[in-house]
């Protein structure tokens, strides 16, 4: 039964990823109705995993379920991306907390080499797929044993990865590299004292700048809700 | 294989603000499981339910799928669907996840609260007056969450946050409601009042710290007591 569950999870992830990618690259346009029959023939699978994937996409906000069981593609904006990024960062902070506490010494070298790689590459040149930043974070997060937390992160992950690929031109690697150096020390010492506060400073700094440049560039209002910028009095 | 796009894009003309039937089924079943009326292990038969409620099987199935997603029912493929047992480990993991989001919502929602929202929070906090027992019904019907947590979420207007939270809530309601008598009520009241007071003064960091103190204090006491329940020990 465990094997069965794992196979179903894989299938759901694949379908989730395929639909999400088609929405984000514009193949499936905002407002388009998603019909089960069409999805079944496109994705070559049965109805149940498709409904499961659609429910997760609805949680993310990229599809909307409306009355009479019609499901349609929602507008994906930098704002949605920023909001999802804020939730993702909050959950990842918690998962990293547990990952730092359980981090095995023999994997420190992997973190070092990923951070060295980040130092050499301009984010604008990141190839598609999980970036070196994703891999660094994933290396720590995988030692978190809270599966509910990891599951919630996974829902936001795909959007984040695709978002980074669309907006990576706004990203600067120096502050991330410096922060990762600090994280490697924490992983070595299993030290989470002040970790959450430090993470907030990082998110309010480089991460916030990144999200803000992106939203302003795309003509949206500055997003005030994500990393604690207080609205002007 | 390309996505079929031979049909023209249809404008959605049917957008009345009415709820889906499947939402009603979900809410109803969720409520019955959360309150323990539907006991762990009890079978859920979509055919019977559809007949009893006069709805299509597809509608009922969609609701059951969502119940699976929130962890209230589980499906043994091709065999049956049943109400999940109360799994303390899963509850604690869910609570740990919600804690992170909850502190986030209070920290970043506080500066955005309107005068009206602060008034509503204060009105709610008046009832947190050193009670001997926490209000079980308020946990079951969700009003504790609506009057407290949701206010901060509304200030933030972050829909992905709302949706992730609402998926995690039922599992918490089930355990916290059914074992509410184990909560140290006076400490809970004092801790939550402290959050509201700090938020009303726009002290975002203090409000977030007060909420963290709630999780590390009275809620940790609750979890300790939960671990001592003989029926919940072991799988």
Look at residues A38, A73, A108 and tell me which one is the last residue of a structural domain.
Answer: A73
Q: What are the structure tokens assigned to B129, written together? A: 């007056």
Nearest CA to CA, how far is B222 from chain A (Å)? Answer: 19
**Residue A167 has what pLDDT?**
67
Q: Give the span between the Cα atoms of B168 and B132, in whole angstroms.
A: 27
pLDDT of residue A28: 86
Strand boundaries in chain B, DSSP class E: 43-44, 73-76, 80-83
DSSP class of A173: H
Contact state of B100 with A146 under an 8 Å Cβ cutoff: no
> B88-229, which class in CATH?
mainly alpha
CB contact under 8 A, B14 and A72: no
Rounded to an integer, what distance in angstroms lies between the CA atom of residue A88 and that of residue A152? 8
Q: Is residue A111 located within the same domain as residue A24?
A: no
**Helix (H) or strand (E) segment spanning residue A73:** strand A70-73
- Inter-chain CB proximity B204 and A44 less than 8 Å: no
CB contact under 8 A, B164 and A152: yes
Cα distance between residue A9 and residue A7, in whole Å: 5
Tell whether A92 is within 8 A of chain B (Cβ): no
* Residue B83 CA to its chain's centroid (Å): 17
Confidence of residue A218 (pLDDT cuts 50, 70, 90): low
> Tokens 């339910």 belong to which residue?
B49
Q: How far apart are CA B162 and CA B172, in angstroms?
A: 15
Which tokens sit at A83?
Answer: 């909001």
Contacts of residue A233, Cβ cutoff 8 Å, sequence gap at least 6: none
**Is A222 near chain B, with CB under 8 Å?**
no
The verdict on residue A41 lying in a domain is yes
Residue pair A62/A73 in contact (Cβ under 8 Å)? The answer is: yes
Question: A69 with A90, same domain?
Answer: no
Asked if A225 lies within 8 A of B108 by C-beta distance, the reply is: yes
Distance of CA B124 to the CA centre of its chain: 18
pLDDT value at residue B82: 94
Q: Which one has a higher pLDDT value, B138 or B2? A: B138
pLDDT at B19 over 70: no
Q: What is the mean pLDDT of residues B15-23?
A: 60
Domain boundary among A31, A54, A73: A73
> Residue B234: what pLDDT?
56
Exposed e or buried b per residue across B134-147, where buried means at least 16 C-beta atoms within 10 angstroms of its C-beta: bbbebbbbbebbeb
- Residue B4 at interface with chain A, using a CB cutoff of 8 Å: yes
Judgement on whether residues A132 and A84 belong to the same structural domain of the protein? yes
Structural domain range at position A183: 78-217
Tokens of A48: 């149940």
Task: Please give the residue of chain A at the shortest CA–CA distance from B154.
Answer: A225
How many CB atoms are closer than 10 A to CB B74? Answer: 15
For an interface test with B, which of A152, A155, A194, A199 has the most B Cβ atoms less than 10 Å from its Cβ? A152
Residue A169, chain B, CB below 8 Å: the answer is: no
| Residues A136 and A151 occupy one common structural domain | yes
Enumerate the CATH 1.20.120 domain ranges in chain B, comma separated.
88-229
Whether the CB-CB separation of A59 and B167 falls below 8 Å is answered with yes
**In this predicted structure, what is the pLDDT of residue A1?**
42
Which residues, at least 6 apart from A212, have a Cβ–Cβ distance to it below 8 Å? Answer: A222, A223
pLDDT in tens, A86-106: 898 899 999 999 999 999 999
B95 Cα to chain A: minimum distance (Å)? 9
In this complex, which of B96, B104, B164 lies closest to A146 when CB atoms are compared? B96
Mean pLDDT of chain B: 87
Domain with CATH 1.10.10.10 in chain B: 21-83
pLDDT at position A220, please? Answer: 56
Query: Do residues A140 and A203 both lie within one domain?
Result: yes
What are the structure tokens assigned to A6, written together?
């794992």
What is the arithmetic mean of pLDDT over B148-167?
90
Q: Do A60 and B93 touch (CB under 8 A)?
A: no
- Read off the CATH number of the domain in which A47 is found: 1.10.10.10
DSSP-based three-state secondary structure for A129: coil
Question: C-alpha distances in angstroms, B142 versus B72, B106, B211?
Answer: 16, 18, 19
DSSP B125-166: HHT-SS-SS--HHHHHTTHHHHHTHHHHHHHHT-HHHHHHHH
Which of B12, B100, B161 lies at the smallest CB-CB distance from A66? Answer: B12
Say whether pLDDT at B73 is over 80. yes
* ipTM of predicted complex: 0.85
Instruction: Inform me whether the pLDDT recorded for A12 exceeds 80.
Output: no
Q: Are residues A9 and A45 in the same domain?
A: yes
Per-residue confidence (pLDDT) for residue A222, from 0 to 100: 56
Task: Say if residue A125's pLDDT is above 90.
Answer: no
pLDDT band at A201 (very low <50, low <70, confident <90, very high): confident
Instruction: Calculate mean pLDDT across residues A169-186.
Output: 89
**Residue A68: its chain B contacts at CB < 8 A?**
14, 20
In this structure, of A61-75, A134-148, A167-181, B96-110, the range with the lowest mean pLDDT score is: A61-75
Residues belonging to chain A:
233
Task: Give yes or no for residue A193 having a pLDDT over 60.
Answer: yes
Give residue A230's pLDDT band: very low, low, confident or very high (50, 70, 90): very low
| pLDDT score at A216 | 65
Domain finish residue from A73, A100, A120:
A73
Q: What's the rounded mean pLDDT across residues B206-229? A: 96
* Model pLDDT, residue B22: 80
Distance of CA A144 to the CA centre of its chain: 17
Tell me, yes or no, if A232 comes closer than 8 A to chain B by beta carbon. no
pLDDT at position B219 over 50: yes
How close A136 gets to chain B, by Cα (Å)? 21
Reported as a single tens digit per residue, the pLDDT across A139-155 is 999 999 999 999 899 88
Q: Output the pLDDT for position B11.
A: 35
Q: Which of residues 10-39 of B touch A (CB under 8 A)?
A: 10-12, 14-16, 18-20, 22
* Window 105-164 of B, Cβ < 8 Å to A: 107-109, 111-112, 156-161, 163-164
Helix, strand or coil for residue B234?
coil
For B66, name the nearest residue in chain A, comparing CA atoms only.
A55
CB of A72 less than 8 A from some CB of B: yes
Across B74-94, average pLDDT? 89
Query: What average pLDDT score do residues B109-117 get?
Result: 95
* B159 to A225: CB separation less than 8 angstroms, yes or no: no
List all residues of chain B from 51 to 80 with a beta carbon under 8 Å from chain A.
Answer: 58-59, 62, 65-66, 69, 76-77
* b/e burial code for range A195-232 (CB count within 10 A of at least 16 → b): bbebbbebbeebbbebbbbbbeeeeeeebbbbbbeeee
The CATH class that applies to domain B21-83 reads: mainly alpha
**Helix axes of A108-120 and A173-189: crossing angle, nearest 10 degrees:** 170
Domain count, chain A: 2
Which 3 state secondary structure label does DSSP give B82? strand
More confident residue, A12 or B235: A12
Burial of B206 (0-12, 13-18, 19+ CB in 10 A): middle
Q: Specify the pLDDT at position B119.
A: 96
Smallest Cα–Cα separation from A204: which of B126, B205, B30, B209? Answer: B205
Residue A181 maps to a domain: yes
């Amino acid at each position: 039964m465990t094997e069965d569950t794992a196979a179903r999870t894989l299938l759901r992830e694949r379908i989730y990823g395929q639909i999400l990618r088609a929405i984000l690259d514009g193949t499936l346009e905002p407002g388009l109705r998603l019909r089960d029959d069409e999805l079944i023939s496109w994705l070559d699978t049965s109805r149940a995993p498709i409904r499961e994937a659609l429910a997760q996409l609805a949680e993310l906000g990229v599809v909307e379920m409306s009355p009479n069981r019609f499901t349609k593609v929602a507008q994906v904006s930098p704002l949605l991306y920023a909001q999802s990024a804020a939730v993702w960062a909050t959950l990842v902070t918690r998962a990293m907390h547990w990952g730092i506490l359980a981090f095995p010494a023999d994997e420190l070298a992997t973190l070092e080499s990923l951070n060295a790689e980040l130092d050499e590459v301009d984010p604008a040149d990141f190839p598609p797929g999980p970036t070196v930043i994703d891999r660094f974070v994933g290396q720590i997060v995988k030692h978190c044993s809270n599966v509910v937390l990891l599951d919630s992160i996974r829902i936001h992950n795909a959007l984040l990865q695709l978002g980074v690929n669309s907006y990576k031109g706004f990203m600067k690697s120096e502050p991330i590299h410096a922060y990762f150096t600090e994280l490697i020390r924490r992983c070595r010492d299993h030290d989470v004292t002040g970790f959450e506060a430090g993470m907030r400073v990082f998110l309010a700094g480089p991460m916030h700048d990144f999200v803000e440049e992106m939203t302003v560039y795309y003509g949206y209002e500055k997003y005030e809700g994500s990393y604690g910028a207080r609205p002007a009095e | 294989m390309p996505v079929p796009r031979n049909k023209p894009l249809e404008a959605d003309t049917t957008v009345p603000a009415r709820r889906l039937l499947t939402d009603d089924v979900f809410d109803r079943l969720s409520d019955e499981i959360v309150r323990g009326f539907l006991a762990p292990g009890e079978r859920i038969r979509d055919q019977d339910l559809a007949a009893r409620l006069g709805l299509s099987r597809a509608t009922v199935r969609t609701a059951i799928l969502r119940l699976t997603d929130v962890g209230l029912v589980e499906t043994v493929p091709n065999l049956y669907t049943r109400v999940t047992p109360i799994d303390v480990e899963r509850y604690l993991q869910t609570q740990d996840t919600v804690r992170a989001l909850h502190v986030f919502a209070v920290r970043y929602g506080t500066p955005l609260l309107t005068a009206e929202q602060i008034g509503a929070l204060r009105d709610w906090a008046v009832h947190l007056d050193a009670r001997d027992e926490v209000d079980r019904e308020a946990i079951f019907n969700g009003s504790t969450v609506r009057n407290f947590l949701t206010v901060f979420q509304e200030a933030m207007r972050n829909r992905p946050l709302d949706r992730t939270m609402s998926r995690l809530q039922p599992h918490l309601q089930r355990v916290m409601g059914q074992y509410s008598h184990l909560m140290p009520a006076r400490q809970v009241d004092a801790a939550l009042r402290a959050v509201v007071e700090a938020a009303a003064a726009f002290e975002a960091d203090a409000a977030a710290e007060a909420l963290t103190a709630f999780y590390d204090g009275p809620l940790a006491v609750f979890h300790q007591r939960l671990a001592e329940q003989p029926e919940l020990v072991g799988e």
